[in-house]
Copies of this chain bind each other. A is one copy, B any other.
Amino acid sequence: MSDSPQLRVAMVGYGFMGAAHSQGWRVAPRFFDLGAEPVMQTIVGRDGSRVEAARQKFGWQHAETDWRRVIDDPAIDVIDICSPGSSHAEIAIAALDAGKHVLCEKPLANTVAGAEAMVAAAERAAARGVKAMVGFSYRRVPAIGFARRLVQEGRLGAIRQVRALYLQDWLVDENGPMTWRLDKDAAGSGSLGDIGAHAIDLVEHLTGSRLQSVSGTLATFVEERPLLGESVGLSGTASDRRGTVTVDDAAWFTARLEGGEASGAIGAFEATRYATGRKNALRIELSGSRGAIAFDLEAMNELQFYDATAPAGEQGFTRIIVTEPEHPYMANWWPTGHAIGYEHAFSHQIKDFVDAITGGGDPEPSFADGLHVQRVLAAVERSAAAGSAWTTTD
């Protein structure tokens, strides 16, 4: 690896996703043979002292407060965008137009229009060999990659039903505080956009199908929450010290799929932060004419597979511990039976992104994939506003 070219990275943002991406950049080259050696060169954030603390914490060489400077810096090869969704479009477009490869956290943008502009920039960039990728990291969970392989090999047959739930519970306490994530102006969306987006992307990734139309419902269970000191500026008056929740607490939608292995299938989706006791339960179940799979992110190293072609009496869901060398990415990790954790979806994302940069392929998911997810989210919102009327996603 000492002879590998270097890939100098600047990362914008230093929150939860900044920590996860940093770990990905740090770890990926230690377990995978990459065509280039990533250099964790610069971390960017608006608050100087915070970004310096993050620099030390996450292990970057330099800190910077203005993202424009790293885009102007010819020594930077890659811009990794982990800042809030409202900033994605401006940064990504500038970076791509400056010839930087871009990895952008999901959601691609807070608006469909923003996402469309990003896709256009990505197309311009692609013509020059510059890569753009959106960070639906769960695609890189080995159990998901293995499930996809089973689907592509026809082991599920024609998929007729899909269930995709993303269940969390951090809003169950009605006296939990108001935060920017519950304010539509700041966050854009609630459960639907934040976690429902993952469910949409995974279903499309696994099946190769697209959600063509949706019928959706949104709900806000707790409409006002206590304002904390730092919540100044949110809606709500100072006198009652309560803020108004302006995003969805939970979302449900039914979708018709087209193309791929689930053409003609119906999918049931749910995204919620009120599923008491479920901490991070992204559950996918695909039911086909020849088999089925079930996955739960709370047991991320396992895949349940049902082979409906097995002899009568021997059928059942097989709990496959996805730590074998035959499973995606796992030959590079520990011996069989040794689990990997959440963060390595990001390590694998870096591996695949660097492979695309050095190998010449097109990284997936593309900005176009990210735009499509935004369109599905927008269609769900329109459907919900129209009494759950079926609404096309394009």
Contacts and interface: CB of A to CB of B under 8 A. Distances in A.
Given A288-B276, A337-B281, A26 B20 contact: no
A100 to B, nearest CB: 25
Interface in A158-181: 160-161, 163, 165, 168-170, 172-174
Contacts of A46: none
Nearest to A57: B30
B168 A337 contact: yes
A82 to B, nearest CB: 14
Interface stretch (A83-91, A104-112, A319-327): A319-327
Contacts of A20: 334
Contact of A217 (B174, B264, B266, B280): B266
A292 interface: yes
A56 to B, nearest CB: 5
Interface stretch (A115-123, A201-209, A338-346, A363-371): A338-346
Contact of A287 (B23, B276, B297, B318): B276
Interface stretch (A225-233, A238-246, A385-393): A385-393
A277 interface: yes
The size class of the interface chain A forms with chain B is 35 or more
14 contacts: A22-B30, A168-B337, A215-B217, A275-B287, A276-B308, A277-B291, A277-B315, A277-B317, A278-B287, A298-B339, A316-B320, A316-B321, A339-B341, A341-B341
Interface of A: 1-2, 16, 19-20, 22-23, 26-27, 29-30, 56-59, 146, 156, 160-161, 163, 165, 168-170, 172-174, 215, 217, 219, 221, 250, 252, 254, 264, 266, 268, 270, 272, 274-281, 285, 287-289, 291-292, 297-301, 305-306, 308, 312-321, 323-327, 334-344, 387-390
